Amino acid sequence: MDLSLTAYMEGQLQQTVSVFHRYMYGQVSWQTRMFGLVGPRGVGKSTMILQYIKEHIGDHSMFYVSADHLYFSSHTLVELVDEFAKEGGEQIFIDEIHKYENWSRELKQIYDSHPDIKVGFTGSSVLDIYKGYADLSRRAPIFMMQGLSFREYLGLFHQIEVPVYTLKDILEQKAKLTGIDHPLPLFRDYLIRGYYPFATESSFELRLRQVINQTMEVDIPLYAKMNASTGRKLKKLLAVIAQSVPFKPVMDSIATIIGVSRNVLPDYFLYMEQAGMIGQLRDDTGGIRGIGKVEKVYLDNATIAYLLGGESTDIGNIRETFFYNQMRVTTDVISSRISDFEIDGKTFEVGGKRKGKKQISSASDGYVVRDDIEFGSGNILPLWAFGLAY
């Protein structure tokens, strides 16, 4: 294999620590012939791949490469895998696949030409992965990874191990933080900075702004063939959402504010959602997940909301953002006709410690989810508990 690629892999493995695994580590089908791991920028996909290699390379012939390596200025992916196969290689991982032109076509060729080689690939630009996936849809399952849950934050930042609790467990008041007498200070810190694994870095805020800028100014415009001025309008749209409490899309007024046709706005919102910048809460009119009418728009997670909202960040919006962000990973969350959210016929009203039961009084199976409380009782549940679901 190319010596510069080998040296690059060794350097990456040396920097990789395997003390903590993300929730997807045990869900990915590592031994399938080809798979993709996608998700927003900065959630830890590359680290997870490198952890797997570091823990299994003694048993198998593995190779790791980033698709933006200088090697690919004069070589192709197909050439690399051909060489890897000749040397008895078994499993190759290609990071940042979206940075390689015509990646899906070459992966298809590799899949068809090398039945004995296992291939894993990652992509931060979720949009490009969706675009190229048509060529691979019958060949490679795609695993979607989100940012840290509150449970994962406790493990990564504070070395506090907490099991995963199902929604049923949480509703039955079984979600516990053993050894933590007062969870609220930790929960506050999580909301402000805990969604991204790189939050321990001193330049965290700068890096998060770079993630947002790269997504809004490069990833989405490239995918949608937009010009630079449209990319700037997307950032303006994100700022409008950040200042709302929460945001209920009125297309005509939004179109006027950012200076675009209202007809393109649903596409813009969808691009931003797929790229991990916003979450769209829909009703159940579509009958299929993700098809219903959009009732509310949130920033994707509380950490982004605090960064963009600054001192004017609305705590009510943060609470709803957190609930939706955490629960969407394991359940289908839709808007409620009488309250905030509905999951599998259960109604949830989210608020502060004095939030009453008025909104759920007509619900057949209703719950009040309160922030600022350490423990729940009956159908009153602490908000932090919903961060232990993955």
Q: Residues 99-146: pLDDT tens digits?
A: 898 899 999 999 999 999 999 999 887 777 777 766 677 788 989 999
- Asked if residue 368 lies in contact with residue 360, where contact means CB atoms within 8 angstroms, the answer is yes
Residue in 289, 287, 250 with CA at minimum distance from that of residue 269: 250
Mean pLDDT of all residues in the chain? 92
Residue in 96, 131, 124 with CA at minimum distance from that of residue 276: 124
The two tokens of residue 363 are 């619900």
Give the pLDDT of residue 288: 62
What are the phi and psi torsion angles at 300 (to 5°)? -60, -40
The two tokens of residue 310 are 């600054």
pLDDT tops 80 at residue 165: yes
C-alpha–C-alpha distance, residues 14 and 131, integer Å? 34
The mean pLDDT of 281-303, rounded to a whole number, is: 86
Q: What single string gives the DSSP state of each residue in 66-116?
A: ETTSGGGGT--HHHHHHHHHHTT--EEEEESGGGSTTHHHHHHHHHHH-TT
The two tokens of residue 98 are 């979206």
Q: How confident is the model at residue 154 (pLDDT cuts 50, 70, 90)?
A: very high
Percent of the chain clearing pLDDT 70 (strictly above): 98
Beta-strand runs (E) in the chain: 34-38, 62-66, 91-95, 118-123, 142-144, 278-282, 294-299, 334-335, 341-343, 346-351, 366-370, 380-382
Give the pLDDT of residue 95: 96
Q: pTM score, two decimals? A: 0.93
What are the phi and psi torsion angles at 195 (to 5°)? -80, -25
Residue in 368, 366, 41, 90 with CA at minimum distance from that of residue 216: 41
Q: What share of the chain is helix, strand, coil (3-state, %, to 5)?
A: 45, 15, 40
- Helices 265-274, 251-258: axis angle to 10 degrees equals 80
pLDDT tops 70 at residue 289: no
Beta-strand runs (E) in 330-382: 334-335, 341-343, 346-351, 366-370, 380-382
C-alpha–C-alpha distance, residues 278 and 236, integer Å? 13
The Cα-based distances of 64 to 7, 45, 54, 321, 326 in angstroms read 10, 13, 10, 36, 31
pLDDT tops 70 at residue 43: yes
The two tokens of residue 180 are 């933590």
pLDDT tops 70 at residue 159: yes
Given the DSSP bridges, would you call strands 278-282 and 142-144 parallel, antiparallel or unpaired? unpaired
Greater confidence (222 vs 145) lies with: 145
Q: How confident is the model at residue 161 (pLDDT cuts 50, 70, 90)?
A: very high
